[in-house]
Each structure stands twice: as C-alpha cells, then as structure tokens.
Amino acid sequence: MSILTDICELLQQGRTSQVRMLIQQALKEGISPDQILNEGLLAGMNIIGEKFKNDEVFIPEVLISARAMNAGIEMLKPHLIAAGVASKGTAVIGTVKGDLHDIGKSLVKMMIESKGMTVIDLGVDVPPQKFYEAAQENHADIVCLSALLTTTMYEMKNVVKIFVANNKRDSVKIMVGGAPITHEYCTAIGADCYAPDAVSAAEAALAFCSSGMIRN
C-alpha cells in the first residue's frame, strides 16, 4: 500500500505538513488508523531510531522526524480511541529535582511514544514525590528518570526510596539515564534499568511492558 510507504518516507524526512496531508487521505480511503500508525508513522520512526543508533543521522534529524510523528499521532488520536487501539503501556518521565536539562529527556519521551506507549511528561526539576504521585495516578508501568548533572543524579536514589517507603516499589520499573549515569550507578541505587541513549531507552521500556516484566 504505497500511501503508507509514502508516510513512512516523508516522516523520515521530517515533512510534517505532507505527513498530515497523507494521513488525511489515508483515512478518507478507509485505511485503518492503527495501520497508518504502525506501517506509516512507527515504521518511519523505527528506521530513524536505527539510523540514530548507527550514527547515520543526528539529533536535529531525529527531532524533526519526531515532530512530524507527533503531529501525525495528534491527528490519529481521536480515530485510535474510537477504534479502541490500546496503548502498549504507560511511562512517566521527567528530569530530576534541581536539573533543568530537557533535550535528552524529550528525545527519550519521543522515542518511547514512537513505540506506541503513552508518556506522561513531568518536565524538569521534578521532585521525587511528583514522580511517585504521577506514577500512582496514571497506573504507570515504568518511571523514567533523566539527570545531566553530577550534583543532581543523586535525586534518582530519592525517587527509588519514595516508592520503597510507600510499599510500591514492586508496582513499577524504574529506568535511569543521562550523561553521568552508568549501569553500576543504576544497580547501586536499586533502579531496574540503565539506558545509554533514547533508542535503547524506548526498546527497554517497550520490552518491560510487552514481556509482562512489570511486577505487581
């Protein structure tokens, strides 16, 4: 079906208005919203994700494609809801308390969304309590913490602690990332997963949800 291939191609080129136009046309032609999502938008974003991983494209290209994808998802949302297409899981994401860096966090958010998951973005400078409350309110499967400063990365431990203190540590996975974070640090603070980049973060988030690895 060439219209879906075209959406996939144009998304990779970040051509938002053309992506929107083709989605409109595809819907008119009776193509199902989940097919447009999976075979058009997500297919294109997955290719960009792989290219980013292999250093074939860089942050600006990813952000431009992600913008086209978000515009497409916004158009499809009412149709997807009407068709009862379920989200593949829910993530809460934010940059930890005291830290204002949001570019990497936003990239991680977009890549997780590109996997068909719902993401609640709490923004930057997020206190541990807010992560906890948002996870509870939204029945999150995974909590994603970003930190770029060696002076703020310690807040990640406080987020883990608040889930433990409320006896809810087993209800979510906690993923950590950002330039100063390492696998060793993740293990030391009792988080579940460290991802070095946005693509691996999205793959890990989806794997947690689809393999039923979330502990209840």
Question: Tokens 């292999």 correspond to what residue?
Answer: 54
CB atoms < 10 A from the CB of 183, how many? 12
* Helix boundaries (H) for the chain: 2-12, 16-28, 33-35, 43-53, 59-83, 103-113, 128-137, 155-165, 183-189, 198-210
Out of 6, 34, 102, 203, the only residue in the binding site for ligand B1M (CB under 6 A) is 102
Least Cβ distance, residue 214 to ligand B1M (angstroms): 16
Q: Residue 96, SS3? A: strand
Out of 146, 156, 160, 186, the only residue in the binding site for ligand B1M (CB under 6 A) is 146
In order, the DSSP letters of 116-173 are: T-EEEE--SSB-HHHHHHHHHHTT-SEEEEE---TTTTTHHHHHHHHHHHTT-GGG-E
Out of 69, 107, 189, 191, the only residue in the binding site for ligand B1M (CB under 6 A) is 107
Question: What's the burial of 111, exposed, middle or buried (CB within 10 Å: 0-12/13-18/19+)?
Answer: buried
Asked whether position 148 contacts ligand B1M by CB under 6 A, the answer is yes
Asked whether position 182 contacts ligand B1M by CB under 6 A, the answer is no
Out of 72, 94, 104, 116, the only residue in the binding site for ligand B1M (CB under 6 A) is 104
Which residue, 19 or 175, is less far from ligand B1M as judged by CB? 175
Asked whether position 108 contacts ligand B1M by CB under 6 A, the answer is yes
| Closest alpha carbon to 72 in 116, 123, 119 | 116
- Residue ranges in 160-179 that form contacts with ligand B1M under rule CB under 6 A: 175-179
Stretch that binds ligand B1M, among 26-34, 71-79, 96-104, 182-190 (CB under 6 A): 96-104
Least Cβ distance, residue 91 to ligand B1M (angstroms): 9
Binding-site size for ligand B1M (CB under 6 A) equals 28
How many Å apart are CA 91 and CA 16, to the nearest integer? Answer: 25
Least Cβ distance, residue 128 to ligand B1M (angstroms): 15
Binding site for ligand B1M (CB under 6 A): 59, 98-105, 107-108, 144-146, 148-151, 175-180, 195, 197-198, 201
